[in-house]
Amino acid sequence: MENLNVAVIGSGSWGIALAWRLNKNGSKVTLWARNAKSVERLKLEREDKDKLPGVILDKNIEITSDMEKALRDKDMIVITVPSVAVREVCEKMKPYLSEETEDNRIIVNCAKGIEADSLMLMSDVILDVLPGRDVTVLSGPSHAEEVGKGLPTTIVVGAFSKESAVKVQNAFMADEFRVYTSPDMLGIEIGASLKNVIALAAGIVDGLGYGDNAKAALITRGIAEMSRLGVAMGGSFETFSGLSGLGDLVVTCASMHSRNRRAGILLGQGKTMDEAIEEVKMVVEGINSAAAALKLAEKYETEMPIVEKVNEVLFEGKDVREAVFDLMTREGKTENELLVW
């Protein structure tokens, strides 16, 4: 463990869980919330009873909606807002980051998604607004509900340099929170984004009551789609068999903590996309990433039939049973094109 002065930007469930973890590790933590109302509630109750009940923020964790105060004299900045808010938040941060003296502070991105218009991954969005920064990415199978209870969790940090990866690793590492390092930031972020889209499909399978066989097939073919696109974009194949690929995909497809799976279940039960979002009551990243994932598949000429059908269900009103039928009745293929007779 390395004791640092850390800003956690975003007071959602993941932000609260990571602020709790970093404080427990001995770092001095400031948690930034978007509005004063959220700040006052968290200061008073030291808990978000709606998003993360039972996770109590220590009195040593400072909570503020003042971005300048949140970033002042920090060694590390951890961004935990939803992917759709990353660009906006970086713009808010920009005036308080001095190019002359602050280039050595590490930015840890925890948002999982693809920017809809630019098709940028989150690290690219951050660098687009804050060029030259030392950006890293933290990802893996890690529900905030379990991290905040101190349950065993293992994740991975990707970085441009081993030195930065190890610094982030040391800041978060604990007996019940194991952190690996990787140089493949792109692969990690692709896995983190696409697993949410596949989890929507897995939820649909559950909502339809199609059973374990269908769920296992969906997860297996989902990782094949994720790795195909990731490798085409320049990621490493090995990353997709790791924590940010298969690991995160399994937990997101299997757990009721997963808002993407929950939204998918509702879609499988006949709800519309808007009705599912309303019932989940939290940001469903897979919906935000689905259209961007399909555009990337077209750009890199990569076959992604599950992602294609999820888009048809979400945005074209396709019946979920028809979508499954389309997938099941596609032309017969070899399972792995890398294997030869």
pLDDT-derived band of residue 103, with 50, 70 and 90 as boundaries?
A: low
Has 195 been annotated as catalytic? Answer: yes
Q: What is the CA radius of gyration of the chain?
A: 20
- What does pTM read for this prediction? 0.93
Domain finish residue from 161, 183, 205:
183
CA 200 to chain centroid, in Å, comes to 14
Residue 81 has pLDDT above 80, yes or no: yes
Co-location of 191 and 74 in the same domain: no
Mean predicted confidence (pLDDT) in 158-185: 97
Q: Which residues pair with 91 in a beta bridge?
A: none
So what's the pLDDT on residue 50? Answer: 86
Residue 280 has pLDDT above 90, yes or no: no
Overall number of domains in the chain:
2
CA-to-CA distance for 295 and 336, rounded, in angstroms?
Answer: 24
pLDDT-derived band of residue 93, with 50, 70 and 90 as boundaries?
A: very high
Choosing from 51, 112, 195, 309, the catalytic residue is 195
Mean predicted confidence (pLDDT) in 311-316: 95
pLDDT-derived band of residue 217, with 50, 70 and 90 as boundaries?
A: very high
Mean predicted confidence (pLDDT) in 24-51: 93
pLDDT-derived band of residue 30, with 50, 70 and 90 as boundaries?
A: very high
So what's the pLDDT on residue 1? Answer: 64
Supply angle C-alpha 128, 129, 134, rounded to 5.
80
So what's the pLDDT on residue 336? Answer: 85
Co-location of 168 and 267 in the same domain: no
pLDDT-derived band of residue 99, with 50, 70 and 90 as boundaries?
A: low
Contact 6, 72 (CB under 8 A): no
Question: Crossing angle for the helix pair 285-299 and 185-208, nearest 10 degrees?
Answer: 120
Co-location of 216 and 304 in the same domain: yes
Co-location of 167 and 155 in the same domain: yes
Q: Is the dihedral of CA 231, 195, 22, 12 positive or negative?
A: positive
Identify the CATH number of the domain in which residue 219 sits. 1.10.1040.10
Contact 33, 11 (CB under 8 A): yes
Percent of residues, the chain, with pLDDT higher than 70: 98
Residue 340 has pLDDT above 60, yes or no: yes
Tokens of 23: 């404080």
Co-location of 49 and 144 in the same domain: yes
The residue segments making up the domain with residue 226 are 186-328
Mean pLDDT, all residues of the chain: 93
Domain finish residue from 160, 183, 206:
183
Length of the chain: 341
- 3-state SS of 276-304? HHHHHCCCCHHHHHHHHHHHHHHHCCCCC
**How many C-beta atoms lie closer than 10 Å to residue 94's C-beta?**
12
Co-location of 111 and 210 in the same domain: no
